[in-house]
Homo-oligomer: A and B are copies of this chain.
Amino acid sequence: MKIGIIGTGIVGQVIGARLLEAGQDVMFGTRDVDKTLARTTPDGYGNPPFSQWIKQQPQVRLGTFREAAARGQTIFNVTAGVASLAALALAGQENLRGKILIDVANPLDSSQGFPPSLAVCNTDSLGEQIQRAFPEAKVVKTLNTMSASVMVNPALVPGDHNVFLSGNDVEAKAQVSTMLTEWFGWKPESMIDLGDITTARGTEMLLPIWVRLFSVLQNPFINFHIAAGTPPG
Chain A residues within 8 Å of B, Cβ to Cβ: 115, 117-118, 121-123, 149-150, 156-161, 164, 192-195, 198-199, 201-203, 205-206, 208-213, 215-232
| A122-B122, A203-B209 known; A227-B159 Cβ under 8 A | yes
Complexed CA–CA distance, A220 and B211 (Å): 26
Q: Once the chains bind, are B222 and A209 in contact (CB under 8 Å)?
A: no
* Interchain nearest-CB distance for A90 vs B (Å): 28
Q: So how many copies of this chain end up in the complex? A: 2
Q: How far is the CB of A69 from chain B (nearest CB, A)?
A: 30
Given contacts A158-B229, A159-B227, A222-B229, contact A194 B209 (CB under 8 A): yes
User: Which single member of B117, B149, B193, B209 contacts A123 (CB below 8 Å)?
Assistant: B117
Contact B212 A202 (CB under 8 A): yes
On chain B, the residues within 8 Å of A160 by CB distance are: 159, 227
Question: For chain A, what secondary structure do more than half of its interface residues adopt (helix, strand, loop), or is it mixed?
Answer: mixed
Q: B122, A158: Cβ atoms under 8 Å?
A: no
Residues from chain B with a CB closer than 8 A to the CB of A220 are: 231-232
CA distance A211 to B202 in the complex (A): 9
> Known contacts being A117-B122, A221-B232, A232-B221, is A212 close to B194, with CB within 8 Å?
yes
Question: CA–CA, A202 to B219, complex, Å?
Answer: 17
- Of B199, B205, B225, the residue contacting A205 (CB under 8 A) is B205
Known A-B contacts A206-B205, A212-B199, A212-B202; the reply to A227 vs B118 at CB < 8 A is: no
- Knowing that A194-B209, A195-B216, A199-B209 touch, tell me 9 more A-B residue pairs with CB under 8 angstroms: A192-B213, A192-B217, A194-B213, A201-B208, A202-B210, A219-B231, A221-B230, A222-B228, A224-B225
A113 to B164, CA, bound (A): 24
A223–B220 Cα gap in the complex (Å)?
Answer: 21
Partner among B150, B211, B219, B229 whose Cβ is within 8 Å of the Cβ of A157: B229
